[in-house]
Amino acid sequence: MQQYKQERAPIYEALERFKRMRVVPFDVPGHKRGKGNPELTAFLGEACMQVDVNSMKPLDNLCHPVSVIKEAEELAADAFGAAHAFFMVGGTTSAVQSMVLAACKKGDKIILPRNVHRSVINALILCGALPVYVNPATDQRLGIALGMPLGEVEKAIRENPDAKAILVNNPTYYGICSNLKAITDLAHRHGMLVLVDEAHGTHFYFGKNLPPSAMSVGADMSSVSMHKSGGSLTQSSFLLAGPSVNEGYLRQIINLTQTTSGSYLLLSSLDLSRKNLALHGAEIFQKVVDLAQYARDEINAIGDYYAYSKELINGDSIYDFDVTKLSVNTLGIGLAGIEVYDILRDEYDIQTEFGDLGNVLAYVSVGDRERDLERLVSAFAEIRRRYKRDKTGMLQHEYITPQVVIPPQKAFYSEKRSVPIGQSEGKICTEFVMCYPPGIPILAPGERVTREILAYIAYAKEKGCSLTGTEDPDIHYLNVLEGE
């Protein structure tokens, strides 16, 4: 068995060698190591611009790696306990879509929770696969969607034995984990692939006493946002695959949509971040766990807020909880999460990850210091003192079970017309409506517009959520199926 040296960083090392070669560039990019764009070079730094280069023999090629990128991918696979790892420079969106496109063809069924990221439904639009939704349980107090109950997954498999794959969010944005091992074993007994959107779970591979990772329970493919908790540059991710996946075919699928001009800034950041986590991940994420727990305890001591954790675990729809997630329910102070999010940014210069109708997520990482968390806790206390109000009339549900009428691809490409959103009730939507972040659709193509959904959209607008996905940027109009 090959022994991998995790202290190596082959792409980074190749770039360092390349810098010493003093190559005269008559290739792209046209800024020519920064000399052609002095203002950009002054902004980003000469060191950055010198390694913003194109594929060439000494640096390998992302579309068909044979040397340093191949070696870096083998090191990543070893570090994550996968059979194969692919460097992704189109974000985890690209990785998620590659998983779905590799598992499903037009007309194939895929079992998945409806509270997926929009990238999953986008993949269904691209390939024409048919979603079989397992509606997640919801927590009435927190107003959030939970994991996939095992019994519901079993029911979906029984009713759709021809489904090709099951996709699982693990963890959710809020830190909720499904029983991934049981779901994987169940799917494999029925000949189905298991795909895991692990965008928020990089640390599961390296931290101690955290929920199990997708590769450790035998899932077939997983998409990992290395840039979220792993320390790499924004837009860089890994697509991991198990031994049963055809590496060559998956590479072909990735190359359908991934750029042929992979950024070496992103690639080297993945390489160095993998090295860092492989060597120091356990201590890094122990620090993150401790920081998050400190903040959670302090916020809960304020009163009215609820920073939730493992006490939610119920053995099924909340099988486990990611304790690095500092998810805070704000309904007790009479403010929507998005309102607290806005106040933190506008009045305290604190940028949290997102706020929805009932919760705020503060993303804690190794880059944080205890004094940063103290500042956040103090701001929460002051917001409660200054802004607390009666919570009567606040909308609590973050998830509405959709009425799926036709497949996403058919709806998206059908003849459509634009109607005032107030006149869209009962019609079939042909576009997305979602709050971003987190990017989970309120409405997706092919779903019925209901009175409850329209009330939710109006409430989200009123509270200041950033609504996206529609052709009309102001969301006064909605595209619906022609003839509806």
89-109 pLDDT per residue, tens: 999 999 999 999 999 999 999
Q: What domains sit in the chain, N to C, each tagged with a CATH number? A: 61-266 (3.40.640.10), 281-387 (3.90.1150.10), 408-481 (3.90.105.10)
Q: How confident is the model at residue 396 (pLDDT cuts 50, 70, 90)?
A: low
What is the C-alpha to C-alpha distance for residues 261 and 27, in angstroms, rounded to an integer?
12
SS (H, E, C) the chain: CCCCCCCCCHHHHHHHHHHHHCCCCCCCCCCCCCCCCHHHHHHHCHHHHHCCCCCEHHHECCCCCCCHHHHHHHHHHHHHCCCEEEEECCHHHHHHHHHHHHHCCCCCEEEEECCCCHHHHHHHHHHCCEEEEECCCEECCCCEECCCCHHHHHHHHHHCCCCCEEEEECCCCCCEECCHHHHHHHHHHCCCEEEEEECCCHHHHCCCCCCCCCHHHCCCEEEECHHHHCCCCCCCEEEEECCCCCHHHHHHHHHHHCCCCCCHHHHHHHHHHHHHHHHHHHHHHHHHHHHHHHHHHHHHHHCCCEECCHHHCCCCCCCEECCCEEEEECHHHCCCHHHHHHHHHHHHCCCCCEECCCEEEEECCCCCCHHHHHHHHHHHHHHHHHHCCCCCCCCCCCCCCCCECCCHHHHHHCCEEEEEHHHCCCCEECCCEEECCCCEEEECCCEECCHHHHHHHHHHHHHCCCEECCCCCCCCEEEEECCC
Integer Cα distance of 208 and 43 in angstroms: 39
- Provide long-range contacts, Cβ within 8 A and 24+ apart, for 230-233: 230/202, 230/203, 230/273, 230/274, 230/277, 231/273, 231/276, 231/277, 231/365, 231/366, 231/367, 232/266, 232/269, 232/270, 232/272, 232/273, 233/265, 233/266, 233/269
User: What distance in Å separates the CA atoms of residue 106 and residue 108, rounded to the nearest whole number?
Assistant: 6
Dihedral in degrees, nearest 10, Cα atoms 246, 247, 252, 256: 100
Residues 300-333 have pLDDT tens digits of 999 999 999 999 999 999 999 999 999 999 999 9
pLDDT > 70? residue 81: yes
Percent of the chain scoring above 90 in pLDDT? 87
Question: Mean pLDDT for the chain?
Answer: 94
- The closest alpha carbon to 327, from 373, 362, 286, 375, belongs to 362
Which pLDDT score is estimated for 141? Answer: 85
Backbone angles phi, psi at 333, to 5 degrees: -100, 10
Using one digit for the tens of pLDDT, what is the confidence trace for 48-62? 999 999 999 999 999
- What pLDDT was estimated at residue 398? 60
Dist. CA 129–CA 124, nearest whole Å: 5
pLDDT of 353-392, one tens digit each? 999 889 999 999 988 999 999 999 999 999 999 999 998 8
- 340-354 confidence digits (pLDDT tens): 999 999 999 999 999
Global pTM value: 0.95
pLDDT at 320: 98
Q: pLDDT value at position 397?
A: 65
Q: In angstroms, what is the C-alpha Rg of the chain?
A: 23
